[in-house]
Structure 1
Amino acid sequence: MRIHVKRSEESLFLYDAPVLSDLATLIPALAQLQNCRLRITRLIQATEDLLEHGILKREDQYGLSEEQLQSFAESDAKGTPDAKKPDAPRKTVMKHGREYIVNPDPTGRRCGEALNEELAQVVTQTLVDARAAISPDLVKLNQPTTLQPLLDAIQAIKGALMITYPMGLPEYEPARQIIEGSEDLSSKQASKDILEPATCTLWWAGKELTRDKKLADFVGKNDKTKVIAKLQKAGHGAPVRENPVDEATQKQMMAYYFKKQEEHKKLMENNDDDYNNSQWADPKVLKRNFVGMGPMMSWRPR
């Protein structure tokens, strides 16, 4: 059967599973799949930052320009402060035998040395493929999601970064931490969306699908069934019910009632009897025509 997994009113992905699946196995699999989708989302963002502004600096170097860092390094080597003026801004720089584009990070957290267009294209294509693998549009296309293509997308990004950064990324670089699974999410907003496979819950039709039963115990034994289910963190209770009317229909309804309201307002403002002077509103016009008091009537057939 096909499970349409949602979070609140947002469609996440489609998943195919036998109707006789044990929920003790199915629920962790769904949670793992969603966590992997979130991981790829974070990896795409971190990699885009890396491509645009270069490698992350150490935490004690945040806010310092490359000229300041170079000056500090030279003064440490000489033992005295270096008072020479910084070099004029450069457009490109050569490092590790490769040309990088100077693009300073406005936050001061990255080195400001972006990959050139040729190297960036190697990574960019893997990001496009990864974004397609987790796209909610797959639900509209009725395409189920499985775990292996997502893991392959992560490995593809890892391989592209190894090609473009052969000297390796520092261990504090977010993209490397996400790939290696060593990132610290305790202080990040992303931690609120991550599900614990061992404790999260699955809901369908306002009922919790308990892990000690099979999927068929709740949805029946028809393998061609399609259901909408929602994942919840443990202890969060039943998910909020969706609005019976979708956003697009609601906007159309509001536009229709607003139009009717404006028409009613105009009718109330034009509350007079001027129309009684019109010929079509005269109840005796037919009688006057017959007795010859109105316009000439023609009885000749046309």
Structure 2
Amino acid sequence: MVRLVIKRGDDEQFLYETSTSEKLDDTISNICTIFNGRLKVLRLVSEFSELAQHGIALPPEMVGLTEDQVTDLKLQDSQADIAVPSGGFQMRADPLGRRNGRAPKDNMVQVLTKARDEAAAIVAKDQARAGVPLTERLVAEALSILRGATMIVYPMGLPPYDPVRMELENREDLSGTQASLQVMDPGLAQLWFSGKEMLRGKTLADYIGKNEKTKVVVKLQKKGQGAPGREPLMTEEEQKKLMAAEFRRQEELKTKT
């Protein structure tokens, strides 16, 4: 199986394993699905930290308001007594004013933290460096771990407007956020290899040959952004090794003179 190191700009994302005979239409679609799924897991990982520390999300109309403002406007958190963490809660005010401060107790925090760390490890960039390809199945596994943890800690469910629940139900609204700029539309995505766009309708073999043991770097790009920067001739690690070898050679020459 050929292995593609997927990069976005100069940032290595994950390792994708396929066949050189795979059509580029399918390759681009599959890579975008995994790329976007990985982003979802990372967004959830971030929200899990907030959920564990500060409890459920406040209703949208209460976000960012002070207690006095909430009182003056006669607003109520109707979900506060419904979406209660298993075993009760401890108060930890949210300095950002996004969550209600009714945090799970420490044993339930551990459940959320463990699930967060396990999911993050599955999609971590270190996996690519270790030679572990990321697949749709692994992304689904990470999401399943996160979903299971929320069901344990919040058996009555999270509020419908909580970002964690919205992400898990694929109802997230990313409009106007930095996260929305990261998502890749499969119909507008491009793959680039060695400074050339890999055109739809062709196969990987048309660009990298038919050697199934090949490992190459390809860059994921949005249509209209132009060609991404070329890969350096040597990696940073290779440059370090070359410099170390040159240093040793210079030292050996000194001892001989």
> What per-residue deviation string (whole Å, max 9, x for no partner) do you get for residues 259-281 of structure 1?
xxxxxxxxxxxxxxxxxxxxxxx
Once the two structures are superposed, residues 226-261 of structure 1 have per-residue CA deviations (whole angstroms, 9 ceiling, x without a partner) of 1110000112121122455666888999xxxxxxxx
C-alpha distance 236-100 of structure 1, shift in aligned 2 (>3 A): same
1:226 to 215, 219, 224: 215
Displacement of 1:66 in angstroms is 6.4
Q: Distance in 1 between matches of 2:10 and 2:215?
A: 17
**Residue type of the alignment partner of 1:45:** S
Shift in alpha-carbon separation, 1:107–1:96, aligned structure 2, 3 A: closer
The whole-number CA distance in structure 2 between the counterparts of 1:14 and 1:189 is: 24
* One-letter identity of the residue aligned with 2:40: R
Tell me, in whole angstroms, the C-alpha distance in 2 between the residues paired with 1:174 and 1:74: 20
Which residue does 1:236 correspond to in 2? Answer: 225
Counterpart position of 1:146: 135
- Partner-residue secondary structure (3-state), 1:208: strand
Give the TM-score normalised by the residue count of structure 1. 0.71
Gap change, CA 1:17 and 1:102, over 3 Å in 2 = same
Q: How does 1:152-167 map to 2 (within 5 A)?
A: 152-167=141-156
Match of 2:51 in 1: 50
C-alpha distance after superposition, 1:4-53 (max 9, x if no partner): 11111111111111111111111110111111110100011111111111
5+ residue gaps, structure 1: 76-94, 254-302
Report if the CA contact (8 A) 2:85-2:154 is conserved.
no
Q: Displacement, 1:122? A: 1.4
Partner of 2:31: 30
Output the CA distance in 2 between the equivalents of 1:12 and 1:233: 15
CA distance in 1, matches of 2:180, 2:61: 25
Counting aligned pairs with the same residue, the percent is 38
Report the count of equivalent residues. Answer: 235
Residue by residue over 1:46-104, the C-alpha shift from the partner in whole angstroms, topping out at 9 and shown as x without a partner, is 111111111111122234566986898799xxxxxxxxxxxxxxxxxxx5773211111
Q: How far off is 1:199 after superposition?
A: 2.2
Distance 1:193 1:223 in 2: 31
Partners of 2:138 and 2:125 lie apart in 1 by 15
* Partner residue, 1:116: 105
1:199 aligns with 2:192: no
| Deviation (angstroms), 1:121 | 1.3
Name the structure 2 match of 1:5. Answer: 6
Q: What is the SS of the residue equivalent to 2:88? A: strand
Letter in 1 for 2:165: R
| CA gap 1:188/1:170 in 2 versus in 1, 3 angstroms | same
Matching residue's letter, 2:50: D
Judged with a 3 Å threshold, the aligned counterparts in structure 2 of structure 1 residues 243 and 153 are, in CA distance, closer, same or farther, namely same
- Give 1:12-27 correspondences, 5 Å limit: 12-27=13-28
Shift in Å, 1:186: 1.3
Q: In 1, distance between residues paired with 2:190 and 2:180?
A: 17
Partner of 1:131: 120
The structure-2 alpha-carbon separation of the partners of 1:64 and 1:186, relative to structure 1 and needing over 3 Å to count, comes to closer
Report the CA distance shift for 1:143/1:73 in structure 2 as closer, same or farther (over 3 A): same
Residue 56 of structure 1 contacts residue 111 of structure 1 at CA under 8 Å; is this kept in 2? yes
**SS at 1:201 equivalent:** strand
2:89 and 2:103 in contact (8 A); partners too:
yes
Name the counterpart of 2:176: 187
Normalising by structure 2, report the TM-score. 0.83
> Residue type matched to 1:110 in 2?
R
Alpha-carbon distance change, 17 to 248 in structure 1, aligned in 2, over 3 angstroms: closer
